[in-house]
Amino acid sequence: MKNIKIIIIVMLSILLCGCPEKYPNGHKYITIINNSDIEIGYYELIDWKDTFFCYSNSGRFGKGTTGIKPNDSFSFFRIDRHEIQPWELYLDRGQILSIWIVKLELMAIYWNTACDTIRKYVPILHCYKLTLEDLQRINWTVIYPPEEEKDED
């Protein structure tokens, strides 16, 4: 009987203490820098197979969204279990993070409409497809417009 109590206490201790964090020094923020002359909005999803997002009523583009003003930046994160989690947790098995950049002015007009309407009137300015290695290489900072597009102008 005493052994069972000890086993139960050990098991409860393990459960209550939880597992050590997998990425204690992981990156919790990705920063978007807007080097354009328009206010932009963004939407991000992991492992999205389509080339165009469509989530009407999206919180990222909903009423009250201010977007990212020209020559400004914004850092975003992922929350799981009421805590900001490292991006490595979501991208460490080869997943791809898609970030769609749109003109916020247009998205603010059409955000609450059908997907067909959004696709028709809200062009994607750029779509980034990033792996964990890509994000590490660019130091967790996404620049809009991409440098190669700025050089072409």
Contacts of 125 (CB under 8 A, 6+ apart): 36, 40, 101, 102, 103, 144, 145
Return d(Cα 135, Cα 126) in angstroms, integer.
Answer: 16
Asked whether the beta carbons of 102 and 123 are under 8 A apart, the reply is yes
- Give domain limits for the chain: 22-152
CA 22 to chain centre: 19
3-state secondary structure 23-54: CCCCCCCEEEEECCCCCEEEEEEECCCCCCCC
Asked whether the beta carbons of 99 and 42 are under 8 A apart, the reply is yes
**DSSP characters for 61-77?**
TSTT---B-TTEEEEE-
pLDDT in tens, 16-55: 554 556 777 888 999 999 999 999 988 888 876 655 666 5
Is the confidence at residue 12, as pLDDT, over 60? no
Task: Report, in angstroms and rounded to the nearest whole number, the Rg of the chain calculated over CA atoms.
Answer: 20
> Predicted confidence band at 136 (pLDDT cuts at 50, 70, 90)?
very high
pTM: 0.74
**Nearest CA-CA partner of 85 in 42, 23, 32:** 23
pLDDT in tens, 52-86: 666 544 444 444 455 899 999 999 888 777 888 89
